[in-house]
Structure 1
């Protein structure tokens, strides 16, 4: 492969600059809209729906509500821009490296994957918001009461924790789709996933330890659903890609 010329490098940098400007524009636009019209209602809803009865919200410093609004608005902007960010990364890796040579996604498949990914992410958020977090937060509140503590939560820490957990559950629900795409396009073999199953388990628990407070129960609340959905992903792949799995096993043995 010939070395790129200065003109080709300049064209790549110019194209990347335009894409980065678009990403920043999307994030900034959604940030401004959500900061003005959405974030206050979202924070209020989280407090009303998930704050355990008897617990109280407090502000620890004057700028805490403003900084919280800025953070939540930024998160929403990044979430809206994420499909385009993934597209830019995919196009860049496809055109400039050999990492994704086996991954060839047509426009129609990309649209289908985006729809399925959005649905799965929404289901993960709904599961966390309606089922897991109410039980989990109530358990933590009752534990504090039993220990004779008064439950006064910082508004920033409470809302940030809820948002973080919702994002985690959203991405956990994406596992079946991600692994299906990788296996169906030959990027990863099904046998590789099953062979390194225990390594994935360890990785899930490490992720749980990194993104949650330093207590075992909270880490389990993150890691265990990831393990369960990893197994669901393997079962889904085994059912939907039975022919491809057989071909891979046959070619490996041959």
Structure 2
């Protein structure tokens, strides 16, 4: 594999810059449409579904609600522009360097990857929204109530926390697709993944402990889906690439 030089990096950045306005347009249009038609619905839905009974939301700044809508709209705009950004980076690396010389990503396969990625991301959000977060938020509320404290959350902090957690679950559920891609394109060896299986397990529980309260049950609800998808990924790799492993 050839060295990745500063000149190549400059050429890649130039290529991306020449098409950057298209990416900005995608993000800006999605941002504007989300702000006008969707952001209020998202905020209202999250408050209705995930705010524990007895807890209250407050504004801590006059512009908190407006800034929150702008942030949510921007997040969705960035998500909408991410596939095109990935395509730009891939094309730049493919044409300007030899880093991806073993990867041959056709238009049809790219569309398939995109569809599967969207499905997995949606599944991860659904798991977090319908199963994990209701239990998680109720645990936090109960913990505050047991200490005799009234649970009053800032609107922006509450919504941002929920969105962060949903994004984590959406990314976690991408694991099978990512691992299939890495092994299928000889970027990572299958034996390396299986050799470090126990290390991955430990890492998953560390992640679970980092983003959940100090409760084994809620930590397990984060770690177990990651372990499950890790094992599903290994199984898919064995099935899809059984002749080459």
TM-score w.r.t. structure 1 length? 0.84
Task: Tell me, in whole angstroms, the C-alpha distance in 1 between the residues paired with 2:163 and 2:48.
Answer: 15
Residues in 2 aligned to 1:49 and 1:9: alpha-carbon distance in whole angstroms: 46
How far, CA to CA, are the matches of 1:58 and 1:10 in structure 2?
Answer: 48
Q: How does 1:119-130 map to 2 (within 5 A)?
A: 119-130=119-130
In structure 2, how many angstroms separate the alpha carbons of the residues matched to 1:9 and 1:47? 45
Match of 1:148 in 2: 148
Match of 1:48 in 2: 48
* Separation (CA, whole Å) in 2 of partners of 1:238 and 1:229: 14
C-alpha displacement at 1:145, in angstroms? 1.2
Contact 2:175 2:230 survives alignment (8 Å): yes
Structure 1 unaligned regions, length at least 5: 246-254
Following TM superposition, by how much is the alpha carbon of 1:12 offset from its aligned partner in structure 2, in angstroms?
5.9
Structure 1 residue 224: deviation in Å? 4.2
Structure 2, gaps ≥5 residues long: none
Per mean C-alpha deviation after superposition, the further-off stretch among 65-74 and 230-239 is 230-239
What is the CA distance between 1:151 and its match in structure 2? 0.9
Q: Quick one: structure 1 residues 205 and 95, their matched pair in 2 at CA, closer, same or farther if it must change by over 3 Å?
A: farther
Which position in structure 2 is the counterpart of 1:164?
A: 164
CA deviation map 1:203-252 (0-9, x unaligned): 44565566x37x4446665444323322221122122222221xxxxxxx
2:20 pairs with 1:35:
no
Q: Secondary structure at the match of 2:243?
A: helix
Deviations 1:133-155 (A, max 9, x none): 11111122112211211111111
Cα distance change on mapping 1:202 and 1:98 into 2, 3 Å: farther
Tell me, yes or no, if the aligned pair for 2:94 and 2:100 is still in contact at 8 Å: yes
Q: CA–CA distance in 2 between the matches of 1:10 and 1:188? A: 27
Q: Deviations over 1:47-79 (max 9, x none)?
A: 011111111111111121111111111100000
Quote the RMSD (CA, aligned, Å): 2.5
User: For the residues of structure 1 that align with 2:129 and 2:105, how far apart are their CA atoms?
Assistant: 32
Q: Encode CA deviations 1:103-132: one digit per residue, 9 max, x unaligned.
A: 211111111111111111111111111111
Distance change (3 Å), C-alpha of 1:142 and 1:112: same
Contact 1:172 1:226 in 2 (8 A): yes
Instruction: State whether residues 30 and 80 of structure 1, in contact with CA within 8 Å, keep that contact through their aligned partners in structure 2.
Output: yes
Q: 1:144–1:104: structure 2 CA closer, same or farther, 3 Å change rule?
A: same
> In the superposition, relative to structure 1, how do residues 82 and 68 fare at CA in structure 2: closer, same or farther (>3 Å)?
same
Mapping of residues 212-223 of structure 1, within 5 Å: 212=211, 215-217=213-215, 221-223=221-223
Cα pair 1:59 1:65 within 8 Å, conserved:
yes
**Number of corresponding residues:** 239
Contact 1:56–1:153 (Cα < 8 Å) also in 2? yes
Structure 1 residues 95 and 219, CA gap change in structure 2 (3 angstroms): farther
CA deviation after TM superposition for structure 1 residue 198, in Å: 3.6
Aligned mates of 1:170, 1:11 — CA distance in 2: 33
TM-score (norm 2): 0.87
Mapped to 1, the partners of 2:11 and 2:193 lie a distance apart of 39
Does the residue aligned with 2:57 lie in a helix, a strand or coil? Answer: strand
